[in-house]
A and B are shown apart, each in its own frame.
Chain A
Amino acid sequence: MTTAFAPLPTTASASGSVASTTTESIVFAPTPLQAYLVRIGDSCLIHAQRLAEWSGHAPILEEDIALTNLALDLVGQARALLTHVGRQTGFDEDQLAFLRNERDFRNVTLVELPGRRAGRDFADAIVRNFLLAAWMNVLWARLESSSDAEIAAIAGKAVKESRYHVAHAADWVVRLGDGTDESMRRTRQAVDRLWPYTAELFETDDIDTAAAEAGLGPMRVSLKAEWDAIVAPVFAEAGLSIPATGAFRSTGTRGVHSEHMGYLLAEMQTLQRTFPGGQW
């Protein structure tokens, strides 16, 4: 990183010490089309946050660097989307990332599940990374023809990045799934834990419908066939079977999150909440 960090402000309020100050959350009421974009931006952002938790902890140095580099791409994509929505709603990217409450985040639940902590495993990070990279790849390719020129431009860049995210993640799924008995056992467990959350990637609601009607982007349900076409051959190569999809539906895209989301946000937002307006 070449960015120089300026000192944080030392006096944040007239009333007391910095440590006792917190920033009020913003009131964010997006239109359906804005909510559609926030869902994608938040999915990138929270996925990046989880990947970045591996910084300094991945089993090998090369993968430590890889996961954090993928996270960097995702943060960039999130920034572009949130900045775009922010222009329409009067907020900047930092306010949207750091000053929204949990219920105002619209990411798919899959991205917020614990990756490194809470008894989860490197296999969880790898399998999730693959399932999401494939989803993002299909989604960005469709967004290239968005009626919103800025979204089409963002997608034109992101689709290229998602291409090597898929390739990299797929390599690892095969390596672990088709590796030792132990790596296969743990990869299968990860698939079983994560798979129920993939149904949400292909749900459709009124926000998707509004976006599709406006030509802003595709309905999630329309991404399923192409996603399957990426996932199935890699799972076959890895010796993994695709679980049946049950009745469970996660609801992160509607703002109703798993119990893990609050902790994630506490960590992600603490700096901005503690040092209001801090910039670097």
Chain B
Amino acid sequence: MEIKAPEDERPQLPDESIPAQFSRGRVTVKGEQAPLLYEAGYYGTLKNGNKLILEPEEVLLLVRRQRIQVSDSKGTNFEFADLLEQLGERHPGLWTRFLVYSDLRSRGYVVRTGYGKGLLFRVYPRGAKLNEATAKYFVCVISEGVPLKVTEIETFSKQAKRNRKKLMLAVLDRQGETTYYLVAPADIVAEK
């Protein structure tokens, strides 16, 4: 069982949604609210201190939580379903990733997208300050009915070990519910 983080020192976000721009398949937040949103939960990648580029999973979560309001240059608003469709075209498997991402976020973790194919997320301890903390888990997803190659698990667990992380498998059932398992290569050596 995890211990809850102490009171959050992160900046409070304004009650109304922060405006975000949808352009060329990407959602960004510009201006002084960019660093605010970044520090509120370590969403996206902050450029020059005033431009926040959001990952598709982050966009969906922030829209669902009414943290951002997305529109394009013509002033057309994008709702959750619109964004899912638009972003999903460029990012196959987005819905699956969103389910796991939002589940981990709702448990209070700071979740960043992972690097490399298949390793989807990096999970930081609750209440982590991104520049101080290191990720605790690497996460990959296994969906009911879609087996994972043993070689993939091997690659991921090696990668996790190299980075001193634990590999967490998010098992997604047919209704999108997640359970989590740690997986590690077993060092099987008999010592008498």
Partners in one complex: no
- A residues adjacent to B (C-beta < 8 A): none
Identify the B interface with A (CB < 8 A). none
